[in-house]
Amino acid sequence: MAKSFAELGLSESTLRALQDVGYESPSPIQEQAIPSLLAGGDVIGQAQTGTGKTAAFGLPIMQYVDASEQSVQALVLTPTRELCIQVTQALRTYGAHTGIDVVAVFGGAPIRTQQAQLRAGGHVVVGTVGRVLDLISRHSLMLTSCRFVVLDEADEMLDLGFLEDVEKILSLTPSSRQTALFSATMPPPIRQLADRYMYEPEVVQVEAATLTIDTVAQFQLPVETKHKAEMLVEVLRAEKPDQAIVFVRTKVRCDQLYRTLRDRGMNVRALHGDMSQGSRDGVMLAFKGGRVPILVATDVAARGLDISTVTHVINYDVPTSPDTYVHRIGRTGRVGRTGRAITFVEDRQKRELEAIERHIGTSVAKWEKGVEATPTPVKERPRRHSKPKISRRDDDEPYVKLVLGGGRASGLQVADIVGAVTSSAGLDGEAVRDVMVLDRFSFLSVPAGEADKVIESVDGKPVKGHSMSLERVPVQ
């Protein structure tokens, strides 16, 4: 087994960049995927967020690209703009000593700026599927010299209905390209895509069951409501985090706490769903770039954050569910480092903490200033994913489109919507088609004969804690 990045065949400049960011030893996905990619082979990596997959494909890309050649040599496709920004930031870090230009292209930002960046250079392009296609159609993005293509979070692309567009993009790249595909799950459409567009890929698997948060020391801190903000200031000053995410339940609390910490002279930013997308992108880039040490965030807004340098997670508000707790504290203790998680507990929240302790199978120690604690192993539950939307029903059966009042801003994912319809209306998951989750609402299609039953069953029911409205999309 490789014990260092040097043993994986990485170059001196890449190893220097890894030293700069403090990466010490490769994670399992990196150890298995990097040698194969450096050898020029295609790779399928089955791994979830937090396993270090960005470095698994990012480090070989940085070694593979020739900075003296002015053309797009590598393309990374991502399902969301948040992931696009995250991957771009990571690749720029890995290529810090190479002179390689990494350009991010995604919707919601001025296309002319991105066109100008591509004209100015761009050895590596990281982009969302829609914007990449748009730039190709405008002849601003040429893929004739693209020798390396990565599909990141392919199952998310499937869930969002992007697979056909992904195939269009792949068909425009050279057939001699090297392809890497990363996905948390491997539903049939993803396997079929791999069969069509990859050459004898090596399959690298990091099982969800082996993912544990055993590098996080966990603490609880009993507090009175009126003293919480003061106690947070005290904890931050005592802990001196390199980078900390402070989780709160509401957008209002997020803004209040940001102002309190800022007024105490702390370098802090806020991140929540009511901010403009441009503001959120700016905050994420500043935090990922290490320019901001403290981030106050709501769960939904922090979804796109996956940063290896976070040393502390502070649950200012006890999470509403044990799963959310595990997800939150998993933001620290990444890539072979240890992290610390501190949860503030008011009297009325003791039961919620007890539920968390039952869920993780251990008690959480009391926080005391200056006291170290050994990390507490916690089994991380695999991320939920919906089945691929392939129906085995009669293809001639008419379908109707429904609109659901709720989307990403409410924390909804495709799996939540399919789950709500199947459990409430008794449909099988394969009968729910074309699920598309947008910011404030979502679309889905169901068999016409069962539409009324679905609306009646789901309308007004709570999904992820929000009462959802469901109705037919008016026919134009």
CB atoms near residue 27 (< 10 Å): 21
pLDDT digits (tens, 9 = 90+) for 68-88: 998 999 999 998 887 888 889
- CA–CA gap between residue 209 and residue 290 (Å, rounded): 31
Domain boundaries, the chain: 5-208, 216-366, 399-472
Same fold, 5-208 and 399-472: no
User: Is the domain 216-366 a CATH 3.40.50.300 member?
Assistant: yes
The pLDDT, as a whole number, for residue 416 is 76
Strand locations in 152-309, DSSP E? 178-183, 202-205, 216-222, 244-248, 268-271, 294-298
Q: How far apart are CA 80 and CA 133, in angstroms?
A: 14
Cβ–Cβ under 8 Å, residues 330 and 215: no
| CATH number for region 399-472 | 3.30.70.330
Instruction: Write down the residue that tokens 């501190």 correspond to.
Output: 342
Note the pLDDT of residue 146: 95
DSSP 401-466: EEEES--GGGT--HHHHHHHHHHHH---GGG-EEEEE-SS-EEEEEEGGGHHHHHHHHTT-EETTE
- Which pair of structure tokens corresponds to residue 346? 């008011």
Position 475 scores a pLDDT of: 60
Superfamily for the 5-208 domain: P-loop containing nucleotide triphosphate hydrolases (3.40.50.300)
Strands of 234-326 (E only): list them: 244-248, 268-271, 294-298, 312-315
Q: Which residues of the chain have pLDDT under 70?
A: 1-3, 21, 48-51, 207-214, 300-308, 323, 334-337, 370-397, 428-430, 474-476
Calpha distance 310→332 (Å, rounded): 5
Task: With beta carbons less than 8 A apart as the criterion, state whether 194 and 166 touch.
Answer: no
Q: Evaluate whether 78 touches 127 at the Cβ level (below 8 Å).
A: yes
Nearest to 404 by CA among 466, 449, 475, 468: 468
Give the helix, strand, coil percentages of the chain, each rounded to 5: 40, 20, 40
182-221 per-residue burial string, b: 16 or more CB within 10 A, e: under 16: bbbbbbebbeebbeebbeebbebebebeebebebbbbbbb
Which tokens in the block code for residue 85?
A: 């920004």
Q: What is the pTM of this model?
A: 0.52
Report the DSSP pairing between strands 399-404 and 433-437: unpaired
